[in-house]
Amino acid sequence: MTAPYTGPTLTTITPGIEANIARVRSLCHAEIMAVVKADGYGLGAEHVARAALNAGCTWLGTTDVAEASQLRRAGFSVPILAWLHPAGLDVETAEASDVDIAIGSLEHLIQALRRGRGKLRIHLHLDTGMTRGGLPAYDWHDAMHWAAASEKEKIFRVVGLMGHLPNADAAEPSANDAGLRSFDVAHKMARKAGLTFEVRHLASTSATLTDPRTHFELVRIGAGLVGIDPSGSTELNPAARLTCPVVHTRAVSEGSPVGYGGSGTTREAGFVSVLGLGYADGIPQLLDPEAYVMIDGRACRILGRVNMDQIVVETGEWAAAPGTEAIIIGPDPGEPTVQHWAQWGNTSAHRIITGLGQRLHRVASTKQEETI
């Protein structure tokens, strides 16, 4: 019989994801795409997708066709859109797996019209201010007319028009004005070329939460699924719990140096404990001196630099027994959040959650206290 796993464990809290989608649904009447790229923002694409669909999402979004095909093989039947294509445009697999693909360049459009066999569904991806990806405005006319001609020849179907808003995180609707104007110009141009769309989508989490004008027929929720609102306007529910057992504990005197170069120093005589995870698991190596974990309801300060596989914490007069659970990231009041770690590590919440390493044991939970 296999012994239960007792190492660092990352739990996907599916009720948190469901609550976040419920919040989005209360703010808009559009359909919702759950964007589960980067393995569901680090929490498991299948876990996150299933929770999001249970909460009312009707689309899934991925980076590329390979990710989308994995979801198809896992049994997901809702529309799935792949829009970044880092390994190139895989038209054949997209058709075989019934995956929508975004077309963000004339080169990709040419590939689609040469290789499409009638089943391919495409979304025209416009650059509406990011200067990062999507069809630039000077290619819109040609792209619209080529796409319309190819649709008439039944090479593919044009089902979506999409873009991104560069300033939506400002939580100020006027910051989206230029992007909306650009999107409107493109939509009118497409209609003139003879194209109609099942869905238009421009808003990701921030715009969805702050600017109803951006909703159209579909909105894309990625970071918001896992409790991150880049706009800072809405309190969302945490969706992750990271725990690790104490490896060992030892007595120390006040002022004891800790770690390489003595980069940490104990504040008092008492005890320190070692936790068996580190920067190889996604914990920032350099942290604010006030960074802490929770052990038995106590906030225990992290001492010194985070090591590849170890963190040292100060527990004061209390000696934590080996095996005692430390909460690294938690959903409950007082527990460190993803946002805390981003602040302590001078980085973003997105980077913390997606950077949690593959060595972590991953489970899903339908209740705060129960994993499956």
Kindly report the CATH number assigned to the domain that includes residue 56. 3.20.20.10
CA-CA distance, 235 to 220, in Å (whole number)?
18
Counting Cα atoms < 13 Å in the Cβ hemisphere of 281 gives 24
Q: Look at residue 366 in the predicted model and tell me its pLDDT.
A: 79
| Domain's final residue, options 203, 226, 249 | 226
Q: What angle do CA 290, 16, 342 make, to 5 degrees?
A: 25
* Both tokens assigned to 268: 């008092």
What is the domain extent for residue 208? Answer: 14-226
Residue 154 is among the residues annotated as catalytic for this protein: no
Q: Look at residue 87 in the predicted model and tell me its pLDDT.
A: 83
Specify the number of domains making up the chain: 2
**181 and 70 in one domain?**
yes
CA-CA distance, 283 to 8, in Å (whole number)?
12
**Active-site entry in 37, 41, 279, 292:** 37
Cα of first residue to Cα of last residue in the chain, in angstroms, is 18
Q: Look at residue 2 in the predicted model and tell me its pLDDT.
A: 52
Domain assignment present for residue 6? The answer is no
Side chain identity, residue 326: A
CA distances from 245 to 52, 84, 133, 357, 368 (A): 30, 39, 43, 17, 18
CATH number of the domain residue 248 falls in: 2.40.37.10
**Active-site entry in 192, 260, 279, 367:** 260
Residue 69's SS3 state is helix
| Domain's final residue, options 168, 203, 226 | 226
Give the residue ranges of the chain where pLDDT is below 70: 1-5, 367-372
Q: Look at residue 6 in the predicted model and tell me its pLDDT.
A: 73
| Domain's final residue, options 197, 226, 255 | 226
**267 and 215 in one domain?**
no
**60 and 28 in one domain?**
yes
Residue 348's SS3 state is coil
Strands 292-295 and 298-303: antiparallel
- 295 pairs with which residues across the strands? 298, 326
Residue 37 is among the residues annotated as catalytic for this protein: yes
Domain assignment present for residue 1? The answer is no
CA-CA distance, 363 to 72, in Å (whole number)?
21
Q: Look at residue 86 in the predicted model and tell me its pLDDT.
A: 85
Q: Look at residue 67 in the predicted model and tell me its pLDDT.
A: 96
Domain assignment present for residue 3? The answer is no
